Amino acid sequence: MSSLSRAPIAIVAAMHEELGALLALMPDEQRVRVPGRDFWVGHLHGQPVVAVLSRIGKVAAAITATVLLERFGVRAIVFTGVAGGLAPGVNVGDVVVATQLLQHDLDASPIFPKYEVPLMGLSRFAADATMADALAAVAETTLRDPVALLGQEAVDEFGLRSPRVHRGLLVSGDRFVSTTAESAALQRALPDALAVEMEGASVAQVCHDYGVPFAAMRTISDRADDAAHGDFSRFVVAVASRYSLALVDAWLASLSPRELS
């Protein structure tokens, strides 16, 4: 087997709770310290992996992705975390698997069209279709029984009776969208956007430049409106971290040793 086929898969978590849950499953993780960041190298389900916290915002996440590619030579990057729902029907407890990603706060007009990355001619970066298909399939299966996954208390607390999986546009920006006015403005400007967060599109751009497959899945923690200041920490612990762990674990278990080579 070539060294390329055994290059690691990167699992990038947006929250400490998600990363901690993932590390608890890795039997042989070893910390590699790169200035400002801890990268955890090990295996899950026979797959070599590197797990890391992205840090918050587009620049921090892009730096993390670049180190993963340059220092660790990863062959794919999967990003997990939370997001605010934008589109109608994208509710708390649902999962969004990105097919495209865009920076909603990028505007170099009139020199370039709004949202377009200067000198690239692109505003939307495609997620890897094979990875996105597999993650969506795993999510569909995993979310069928939220009580088994989360427990009755969490299901009741957050009203997660029938969580759904959505696929489509995920938008990123360097601000936490948490007012109804901001959310409505984004929906008008980008009517096909499903959810909003702060990192994914920048990682997608880095992976595009390097020609490395990228996928992102986000748990909806709020509706990115005036009610977005709920018990966020409690949701991350009780729901989002458990979602991320279950979905990443099931996806890695489904891969053959040579897949994604």
Residue 229 makes CB contacts below 8 A (sequence gap 6+) with 178
Q: Is 21 helix (H, G, I), strand (E, B) or coil?
A: helix
- Which residues partner with 220 through β-bridges? 83
Helix, strand or coil for residue 231?
A: coil
Helix (H) or strand (E) holding 48: strand 47-53
- Annotation marks residue 17 as catalytic: no
How far apart (Å, rounded) are the C-alpha atoms in residues 241 and 166?
Answer: 18
Q: Say if residue 95 is exposed, middle or buried (CB neighbours under 10 Å; 0-12, 13-18, 19+).
A: buried
Q: Which of 29, 116, 182, 222 is catalytic?
A: 222
Q: Out of 17, 18, 29, 199, which one is annotated catalytic?
A: 18
CA distances from 246 to 33, 42, 100 (A): 27, 18, 23
> Is residue 35 reached through a cis peptide bond, with omega within 30 degrees of 0 on the bond before it?
no
Has 18 been annotated as catalytic?
A: yes
What six digits make up the tokens of 225? 């409106």
Which of the residues are catalytic?
18, 222
